[in-house]
Amino acid sequence: MEEIQYIFIDDTPKRPRGRPKKKSEDKMPGRPQVYSIELGNQICEWLANGKSLTSFCAIDGNPSYSTIMRWLWEGSAWYREEFSNNYTKAREQQAQYHADQIIDIADDGINDYMELQDKSGKKHIKVNGEHIQRSRLRIEARQWIAKNLLPKVYGDKADLKLADNGGPVTLKIVYDKKLPELEKKEM
């Protein structure tokens, strides 16, 4: 019996991966700009309502996180000054929103206790430690956000009064020429 050998020749043309690159000096690299005043206002409103920028960027059709950051980077070709100013105000409002939530979370005790029933049918009330720990974590996260986004309002206050008039302290060093003579006498 004769043995047959098959030889496979790959004659399919090699295609470049990805989109073909167009060389143009007029266009900026990356995806095109989609910034508009309406979109900037939508982002700022989203943040002012206590939501995160990453959750906004996760929605289909919204710009990526890095694109929005480019709009905020001063000196960047994509920089938008008006958006940057509104973004700063929105972050301050976001800190206020989270500070207000702290009170609501602390006052909410609905799930702090669980009602359990044993085998005999007797009901017992037990502390729900997991819910309490989660509430504590939520409060601490909001405190951190408020403290770091609005340090003048919610930050740790260190009142250092250096001078009576609130101005700088002046230190005056006076050399007394009699000191070396005193040192010689003491020896």
Tell me if 148 is assigned to some domain.
yes
CATH number assigned to the domain comprising residue 119:
1.10.10.60
Question: What domain range is 150 assigned to?
Answer: 37-158
52-84 pLDDT, tens per residue? Answer: 999 999 998 899 999 999 999 998 888 999 999
Tell me if 1 is assigned to some domain.
no
95, 146 contact by CB (below 8 A): yes
Tell me if 30 is assigned to some domain.
no
The residue type found at 186 is E
136-161 pLDDT, tens per residue? Answer: 999 998 888 888 888 888 887 766 66
70, 76 contact by CB (below 8 A): yes
Burial class (CB in 10 A: 0-12, 13-18, 19+), 1: exposed
Tell me if 44 is assigned to some domain.
yes
Tell me if 171 is assigned to some domain.
no
For the whole model, what pTM was predicted? 0.59
Domain count within the chain = 1
